[in-house]
Amino acid sequence: MELSVVVSPMDGHAVVKYMPEIVESKRIKETVENAGFQVEGYPDQEIEVCRLKIKGMACTSCSEAVERALSDADGVKKAVVGLALEEAKVHFDPNVTNLNQIIKAVEDAGFEADLINPGNDVNKVHLKLDGVHTLEDANTIRTALELAVGVNHVDMDMEEKKITVSYDPDVIGPRSLIKLIREASTGLNLYDASLYVPPRQRDLDHRNEIHKYKNQFLWSCLFSVPVLVFSMVLPMLPPYGDWLNYRIHNLLTIGMLLRCILCAPVQFYLGAYHALRRKSANMDVLVAVGTNAAYIYSLYILLKSLTSHDFEGQDFFETSAMLISFILLGKYLEIVVKGKTSDALAKLSELAPDTACLVTMDGSGNIISETEISTQLIQRNDLFKIVPGAKVPVDGNVIDGQSYANESMITGEAKPVTKRPGDKVIGGTSNENGCIIVKATHVGSETALSQIVQLVEAAQLARAPVQKLADQISRFFVPTVVAAAFITWVAWFVTGVAGLYPKHWIPKAMDKFELALQFGISVVVVACPCALGLATPTAVMVATGKGASLGVLIKGGTALQKAHKVKAVVFDKTGTLTVGKPVVVSTILFSGVTMKELCDMAIAIEANSEHPLAKAVAEHAKVQRKKHESLADHVEDVKDFEVHPGAGVGGKVGERIVLVGNKRLLQVHNVPINHEVEEYISGAEKLAQTCVLVAIDGKVAGAFAVTDPVKPEAGHVIRYLQSMGITSIMVTGDNWGTATAIGREVGINQVFAETDPIGKAGKIKEIQMKDLTVAMVGDSINDSPALVAADVGMAIGAGTNVAIEAADIVLIKSNLEDVVTAIDLSRKTMSKIRLNYVWALGYNVLAMPIAAGILFPFTGIRLLPWVAGACMAASSLSVVCSSLLLQSYKKPLNVERI
């Protein structure tokens, strides 16, 4: 069955969201064809989507390895892996592969993978069962649920006595499912169920990962701190450290043996093993190279001391142990801080209240019962009461009462919004003062809050084009670093053997080989590229989350990156620069028709149109018809109804041919326009009014003058964009006179009027030919071709589904200030990403020469390997903290409204 259908008549596209368990895509195609329409571009393959939690990724090369493994798997059509989010989104053909094989492909690449949720799970509820003791009980409940209409899938866990049910909210709801379980009781077997809220998997995984690295760091410290004490502290405190120099056999001392024993448990190379097995090199490989070099050489020193009477050498056990401890500390801090990059998203998710007051009303509208229930048990069409100070649990319509709602957490608008019967309320917003009764219209994942969260999660997973720089660098970075470390070691060793530097440069108890080795290990460790891979995704995560909290939904890194280059913004007029609620201010009759006839024809035709002007004309015509003693609500049927994009509509009402639209529509149909009509049109346009003409049987019968107030912030936005070096342009289907008047009022000089939807897209392309990055701001189906044609499409949140689908950025609160916010946030984010690259590469560029010993001949400064490890950890931490500063972002423009 279909969950939603969006059809764009302009470009001939349809998007159908459906449950594959219930209906096949072929059936949908056949249904459209049976309705008399041809279907082209139908995919022969069934494509499903799943999301995976990937564990064990350390840097960009890891995410690339996972993406490559998934892309190479049979049946996988597309795979996107997000390093900062530690997730993968996989598009696959279920006829070729399945979820188990996809997970196996990730595991074969050396990483762990867990299924987050199948892409087709739309609504599901988790229930804890009571009274279920046997397999027969479980089967009874499963059968009762599976036979219910609207239940899509039942997943039962007998051990935990829990059940997860996927359902269609149009047909059934959580309370009905609990009732079905109770009604399945037979004899002495009484079944019951209660709501069970599982912890969010992402939060659980994040806590587990923090716990894991914390334990690993503490375990490492348990061994590495004594190693440090035995090698660097006690030897400097005679006589307390003299016992460490006691020889056990030949030159082997107690101190050396203790350091070897304590260092052994700290060594780990599992990540490096998996990386090398998949023929790639990542941070783990560099760490393993550095620690292995130090540890193996130290073992060589130990064995040599054990077997020799005159050998002198310095072991590096403390270098290996301390290096690993610092890396684990850096990883632990990085994960703790990285979790804060999605704080804005977590706050959005937690906006909805836990409980709601469900009410039952009689026919007279009186409340006869009130029950407090979990928000997750709310079903569509439920009535619930919201008292002052309480939060709205789900999206709905007010049916009784009046109040003000604070929608700032969703829309960013601080001023309370009036709510009266018929008005929409958004789940998660706060009721300010009055008590209201709301009817639930959207529940579960269909609420605006849930869709915002889903959209932002998808955006955070998408990879920004600027990330390619990090990907390209990481491909050759590790081999280059290893080569640089080897060259460093060779250079210092050869020059030492050749006597090219004085012997006093060599620290006490070390030789030429050991000094060279220490420089080489420091180069390997300090150059780890893990910070490079975090530079872009962490900034994108914070920016998209912050944008959502301000009412700006950015659909991914690509949109975020493109927006900072915008040099021209193209605005639609109706519903974008104007309020979008036009009203008729005057009506005139021509050709001797009566007002009743004019209104009847206008109502009949405009009833089939969704355009704001059509609705205004229809509403005014109904009022006028009642004034002229016509109380009938009957609307005549229209035959041969036709939409003329950017011009108007037409059809046959009874035996009369009626056209309703602008002057261009009548000219195309050869309807003569006399001097009287021209004067009326001209006068209306000078007052920034749109003239809607009505022609009956080839003659102009009358006209409606419609005005649509300009949004109060429009002028401020245009001026601010100009101060940012951005040109503002208006492209509208309205007439030249009205368009010019509106443009003059808001401060736009470049105006293109009487333009159809295809023409709007053409204008966008013309502007792009001037080497300008163009953003298009629109709200209707007519704007969707232009939104797609623009470099960045911005849809007004109150607009149509098609426009929102076509856009790259959605302005939830329909406020033009957020055009400025979106562009400014993009600029700040790109600036932050560039700064992150400076932090990430700056450490490497500056620290590598120091680690290689470039300052040693002049200052005697050496970057010890464990210090290099601390620098590497600080690099990653500084990048994440830099990205977190975006959470303090404030809107650059905030116009006070009356």
User: What pLDDT, on the 0 to 100 scale, is given for residue 823?
Assistant: 93
622 plus 737 within the same structural domain: no
User: What pLDDT, on the 0 to 100 scale, is given for residue 721?
Assistant: 92
For residue 156, give every residue at least 6 positions away whose Cβ sits within 8 Å of its Cβ, in sequence order, or none: 138, 141, 142, 162, 163, 164
User: What pLDDT, on the 0 to 100 scale, is given for residue 282?
Assistant: 59
Mean pLDDT is lowest, of 265-274, 372-381, 553-562, 758-767, for: 265-274
State both tokens at 830: 């790109």
State both tokens at 630: 């016509």
> What does the radius of gyration of the chain's CA atoms come to, in whole angstroms?
35
How is 379-413 classified by DSSP, letter by letter? -TT-EEEE-TTPBP-SEEEEEE--EEEE-HHHH--
Task: Name the percent of the chain lying above pLDDT 90.
Answer: 5
User: What pLDDT, on the 0 to 100 scale, is given for residue 337?
Assistant: 66
Q: What is the DSSP letter of 576?
A: I
Contact 681, 694 (CB under 8 A): no
As a whole number, mean pLDDT of residues 662-682 equals 87
Picking from 359, 792, 723, the residue whose alpha carbon sits closest to that of residue 560 is: 792
State both tokens at 410: 């969703």
209 plus 331 within the same structural domain: yes
User: What pLDDT, on the 0 to 100 scale, is given for residue 335?
Assistant: 73
pLDDT at 569 over 90: yes
- What band does 268 get if pLDDT is binned at 50, 70 and 90? low
State both tokens at 214: 């914390």
User: What pLDDT, on the 0 to 100 scale, is given for residue 627?
Assistant: 74
Element (H, E) at 107: helix 99-108
* Residue 655, domain member (yes or no): yes
User: What pLDDT, on the 0 to 100 scale, is given for residue 313?
Assistant: 64
Q: What are the phi and psi torsion angles at 238 (to 5°)?
A: -65, 145
Last residue of a domain, one of 73, 89, 118: 118
233 plus 308 within the same structural domain: yes
- What band does 895 get if pLDDT is binned at 50, 70 and 90? low
Element (H, E) at 192: strand 192-195
pLDDT at 808 over 70: yes
As a whole number, mean pLDDT of residues 694-702 equals 89
The highest-confidence range among 59-63, 260-264, 347-351, by mean pLDDT, is 260-264
Residue 149: which CATH number?
Answer: 3.30.70.100
447 plus 593 within the same structural domain: no
pLDDT at 201 over 70: no
Q: In terms of residue numbers, what domain contains 803?
A: 559-578+711-820
230 plus 333 within the same structural domain: yes
Q: What is the DSSP letter of 189?
A: B
> Residue 433, by phi and psi: left (phi above 0), alpha (psi -120 to 50) or beta?
alpha
- Label residue 127 exposed, middle or buried (CB < 10 Å: 0-12, 13-18, 19+): buried
Mean pLDDT is lowest, of 77-91, 96-110, 285-299, 638-652, for: 285-299
321 plus 226 within the same structural domain: yes
129 plus 225 within the same structural domain: no
* Residue 858, domain member (yes or no): yes
Picking from 611, 618, 551, the residue whose alpha carbon sits closest to that of residue 780 is: 611
User: What pLDDT, on the 0 to 100 scale, is given for residue 718?
Assistant: 92
Contact 496, 519 (CB under 8 A): no
383 plus 470 within the same structural domain: no
Last residue of a domain, one of 198, 227, 247: 198
* Residue 534, domain member (yes or no): yes
Picking from 204, 280, 344, 326, the residue whose alpha carbon sits closest to that of residue 876 is: 326
- What band does 121 get if pLDDT is binned at 50, 70 and 90? very low
Contact 279, 479 (CB under 8 A): no
pLDDT at 21 over 60: no
Q: How far is CA 896 from CA 415, 559, 593, 810, in A?
A: 9, 29, 47, 22
Contact 397, 426 (CB under 8 A): no
Contact 163, 156 (CB under 8 A): yes
As a whole number, mean pLDDT of residues 710-737 equals 88
Last residue of a domain, one of 680, 707, 734: 707
Name which residue leads in pLDDT, 71 or 812. Answer: 71
> Residue 360, by phi and psi: left (phi above 0), alpha (psi -120 to 50) or beta?
beta
User: What pLDDT, on the 0 to 100 scale, is given for residue 898?
Assistant: 36
* Residue 744, domain member (yes or no): yes
Contact 612, 580 (CB under 8 A): yes
**Bridge partners of 587?**
704
* Residue 836, domain member (yes or no): yes
Q: What are the phi and psi torsion angles at 6 (to 5°)?
A: -125, 125
Mean pLDDT is lowest, of 85-89, 220-224, 823-827, for: 85-89
Element (H, E) at 778: strand 773-778
Mean pLDDT is lowest, of 226-240, 260-274, 366-380, 738-752, for: 260-274
Mean pLDDT is lowest, of 121-135, 140-154, 881-895, for: 121-135
pLDDT at 120 over 50: no
Count of the separate structural domains present in the chain:
8
pLDDT at 782 over 90: no
Task: Determine how β-strand 124-130 pairs with β-strand 192-195.
Answer: antiparallel
- pLDDT tens digits, residue range 478-500? 778 788 888 998 999 899 888 88
Residue 777: which CATH number?
Answer: 3.40.50.1000
Task: Determine how β-strand 750-752 pairs with β-strand 727-731.
Answer: parallel
208 plus 338 within the same structural domain: yes
As a whole number, mean pLDDT of residues 254-268 equals 83
815 plus 831 within the same structural domain: no
Name which residue leads in pLDDT, 635 or 165. Answer: 165
373 plus 430 within the same structural domain: yes
Residue 379: which CATH number?
Answer: 2.70.150.10
* Residue 349, domain member (yes or no): no
Name which residue leads in pLDDT, 574 or 436. Answer: 436
* Residue 487, domain member (yes or no): yes
Model pTM greater than 0.85? no
pLDDT at 450 over 60: yes
Task: Name the percent of the chain lying above pLDDT 70.
Answer: 81
As a whole number, mean pLDDT of residues 591-619 equals 83
- What band does 464 get if pLDDT is binned at 50, 70 and 90? low
pLDDT at 75 over 90: no
The CA-based angle 196-202-207, given to 5 degrees, is 100
pLDDT at 749 over 70: yes
Kindly report the number of other CB atoms within 10 A of residue 53's CB atom.
17
State both tokens at 382: 């439920």
> Residue 172, by phi and psi: left (phi above 0), alpha (psi -120 to 50) or beta?
beta
* Residue 653, domain member (yes or no): yes
- What band does 84 get if pLDDT is binned at 50, 70 and 90? low
pLDDT at 2 over 50: no
Across the chain, what does the average pLDDT equal? 79
List b or e across 147-174, with b for residues whose CB sees 16 or more CB atoms inside 10 angstroms. Answer: ebebbbbbebeeeebbbbbbbbbeebbb
98 plus 163 within the same structural domain: no
Residue 676: which CATH number?
Answer: 3.40.1110.10
User: What pLDDT, on the 0 to 100 scale, is given for residue 195?
Assistant: 77
- Label residue 355 exposed, middle or buried (CB < 10 Å: 0-12, 13-18, 19+): middle
User: What pLDDT, on the 0 to 100 scale, is given for residue 632?
Assistant: 54
pLDDT at 179 over 60: yes
User: What pLDDT, on the 0 to 100 scale, is given for residue 729?
Assistant: 92
The CA-based angle 84-545-388, given to 5 degrees, is 140
How is 225-236 classified by DSSP, letter by letter? HHHHIIIIIGGG
User: What pLDDT, on the 0 to 100 scale, is given for residue 774?
Assistant: 92
